[in-house]
Structure 1
Amino acid sequence: MVHITEDIVRRRAEHNDCEIFSLEEVSLHQQDIERIEHIDRWCRELRILYLQNNLIPRIENLGRLKKLEYLNLALNNIEVIENLEGCESLQKLDLTVNFVGCLSSVESLKHNIHLRELFLVGNPCTEFEGYRQYVVASLPQLKWLDGTEINRSERIRAFQGLEEVKRRVWEQEKDYLRKRAKEKEDTQRKELGGEKEIKERKPGFDGRWYTDINNTIPELEENKENQKSEENTKPAMTNPDLDEEQREREFWNTPCPFTPESRLEAHRHLEEKRKAKDKDKEKKPKAPRTLITADGRVMNVNEPKLDFSLTEDEENNTIVLDLAVYRHMDTSLIDVDVQPTYARLNVKGKIFQIVLPAEVKPDSSTAQRSQTTGHLVLTMPRVEGEIKVTKTVSRPPRACQNRPSSLPEDNKRKDNVPERLEVDPSKHTVIDLANIVPRQSSKEGPLEDPRIAPPTITCHSIFSEGFVDDPDVPPLI
């Protein structure tokens, strides 16, 4: 059973700085409240009160709210309209989908002279013959009933034959009350039967009390033999989960009258299932997510389910991670950890982890937050950048180029696909054949290879005295 506490009211009064003594509007809907209490003493200035979709069976403890103008009690278990005489300023009352079957109780609203709107849609009393005529005649201050305006001609017709309408309404009301009394008896009998069945199961597996040991032993042996014979004839044990599903399906598919008791029973059933589910969650704690496996492999994890992009900046030799963090989230709720091979972020307790395509420098990495989009940008420089050729070094031709290869590795290389060298046409230049072999001066004679020893000069020279070999002059032959 949920009670109206001061903490609940204060949490609903955030718009009033959590002050309840001067509160003019409060919403306590869908709280499973089963009784109205304390509000008339704590919130004397209240003008609007929302109590719809609860389990309230009775209107009470509202007489001190002199300034109350709107009261919403839709979707509750109210059967009688009462205890609203003290609400002098009440203008609108909503009792949609309740169990008001005592239609004569609407006459208690005569004292609420400012009442203008009344909603009784979905109540048993709306099915009575002469329902609308009776309410219009009983409450002359009403302007709207069930969302339909009451015009002057309808009010005049409501007073015609009013005594006959009242007599028929009272008879239908008595029949309904007798029906409700029978429904309550059936509900009590069902509850007592269920309790009795539970008690009968407690003494033993066959529902008997065993006080005399001498008489008990043969009966136990007989019961065991009967159980063995039943086990041999019965099929294999069914899945207990299927039995639970069958019981659940039977509970919801079994027809029952729409009464406050059945609505309360359905609520209790859902509450028990919710508690059982919470208990199972406590028994079976959620296994922690694996971030790094036992063999050292880093896993990609995105628990907050954020959009991201991982790019490589070739010019700056960095890896950039753009994570779409929530725009209005405080930066203090983000924790960043950059490792050489992966990056891990903790966003409001949820882990985001991604493996990097190359090794980075954690000490040189930076994290920045966008003030417009809220995105978090990680800039991580790589440890070893891409090798770029800045200067071409020419190598002399190998002397053994025309030598047949005798090594097995050379033969194998010939059999394979030839190695292809990448040549940049833009950097191609004409080879200077004149400077292949170095020389000291252009006037010293022909080009000489330093690897070959110069020939010895003899006295029988083919050149005459004073001969100068000019390399720019072409030969005669």
Structure 2
Amino acid sequence: MSTTRSPKVGLRDHRVSSTERKPYDARESSRQAIEDELKLCGYKRDADVFELFLCQKELTDVIDLSRFKKLKYLWLHHNKLQGISFLTRNYCLTELYLNNNAIFEITGLHNLRSLYILLLHHNELTNLDATVKEMKGLINLKFLNLFRNPLCQYNQYRLYIIYHLPRVDYLDGNRVTRKERREAITIFNHEKTHILQSIAFGGRVDASWNRMSLFKQKTYARLPFDFRFGNNVDKTVFDNPEDAVFVRSLKRSVMTITSLNWNTVPTRDEKYLEGKGTEPAERLTVTLR
């Protein structure tokens, strides 16, 4: 009598279990890559880690790196990353290489205020406004690469980045010039542009973009009540004409003319050799009103 074995109840399909372990495997592979790098560099404590070289590891996700509090240099280029949520607490990071990945958002980047170099070229960033907003807090950022991202297709992309991130000195490998900064202000800040154009001879002119301001009436200083246009002269009537001449003469400006009689000034020989006295020279002063 032949017997047949019945399948064991409770065994899970191998394909299902491998699918369920996929997220775990991605993080575990990054953990293993980090441990291998630490052994290779001879690091024994997390506090001693200043740099990590994790490029070309086929990483799709990375474990939280907050344990490396003094991490300053991180290479993650040429992987398959889609975000950077694992970097929100690495405040000492100064150089970050994320180029040649599949990153489509950079949420959390604004916390890395010590960043000096940031390479994000060859990724999938599409939202220009969100990208710039996330980078505005990077007060030390000087080198930035964003080329070969979909957001680079926007019109005036380079000038937009230059205007909203004025601290960046090198964008996409090229130095930002003064001309580009002026063009960026002209395009994206009309009010400031008009103010700069209205400055003449060291004085600022009110030249706002409100067209009604062109018709504002200018204010003038108030004139004295007894002011007479064209002839600002006191026109008090005197009974005696001589009194009028006297009063008018007192209001005239005074001019003094002084002349010196050089014949009374001794020469050098007369003064020192002949021993003549030093009498004051004769002067004639005439005062006119």
| Mapping 1:194-213, distance limit 5 Å | none
Partner SS for 1:157:
helix
Task: Tell me, in whole angstroms, the C-alpha distance in 1 between the residues paired with 2:34 and 2:115.
Answer: 21
Matches within 5 A, 1:36-55: 36-40=62-66, 42-55=67-80
Deviation of 1:31 after TM superposition, in Å, equals 1.4
Contact 1:10 1:20 (8 Å CA) reproduced: no
**How has the CA–CA distance of structure 1 residues 7 and 35 changed in structure 2, closer, same or farther, with 3 Å as cutoff?**
closer
The structure 2 residue matched to 1:84, chosen from 85, 89, 109, is 109
Q: Percent identity?
A: 26
**Cα 1:21/1:69, change in 2 over 3 Å:** same
Q: Which residue of 162, 165, 168 maps to 1:142?
A: 168
- Kindly indicate whether the alpha-carbon contact (under 8 Å) linking 2:30 and 2:59 is maintained by their aligned counterparts in 1: no
The match for 2:247 is none
Shift of 1:16: 3.6
- Shift in Å, 1:62: 1.0
**Cross-structure match for 1:152:** 178
- Separation in 2 of the partners of 1:107 and 1:16? 39
Q: State the partner residue of 2:133.
A: 107
Cα distance change, pair 163–101 in 1 and its aligned pair in 2 (3 A) = farther
Contact map agreement 1:88 1:114 (CA 8 A) in 2:
yes
1:57, distance to aligned residue in structure 2 (A): 0.9
Superposed CA RMSD in Å reads: 1.8
Give TM-score scaled by structure 2 length: 0.53
Query: Counterpart in 2 of 1:8?
Result: 33
Contact 1:22 1:44 in 2 (8 A): no
User: CA offset at residue 75 of structure 1?
Assistant: 1.0
What is the identity, as a one-letter code, of the residue corresponding to 1:123? N
Query: In the alignment, is the contact (CA less than 8 A) between 2:33 and 2:57 conserved in 1?
Result: no
Please say which structure displays the higher CA radius of gyration. 1
Contact 2:121 2:146 survives alignment (8 Å): yes
Equivalent position to 2:157, from 125, 131, 139: 131
Alignment-mate amino acid for residue 55 of structure 1: K
Contact residue 50 and residue 72 of structure 1 kept, 8 A: yes
* Distance (whole Å) between structure 1 residues aligned to residue 74 and residue 102 of structure 2: 17
Q: Could you list the runs of 5+ residues in structure 1 that have no partner in the other structure?
A: 165-477
Q: Is the 8 A contact 1:11 1:18 kept in 2?
A: no
> What is the one-letter code of the residue matched to 2:169?
K
Aligned match for 1:94, one of 113, 119, 141: 119
Determine which structure has greater relative contact order: mean sequence separation of CA pairs < 8 Å that are 6+ residues apart, divided by chain length. 2
Between the aligned partners of 1:82 and 1:136, the Cα distance in structure 2 is 21
Please identify runs of 4+ aligned residues in structure 1 that moved more than 6 A: none
Q: Does 1:120 align with 2:146?
A: yes
Task: Tell me the number of residue pairs that the alignment of Structure 1 and Structure 2 aligns.
Answer: 163
CA 1:19/1:8 → structure 2, altered by over 3 Å: closer, same or farther?
farther
If the length of structure 1 is used for normalisation, what is the TM-score? 0.33
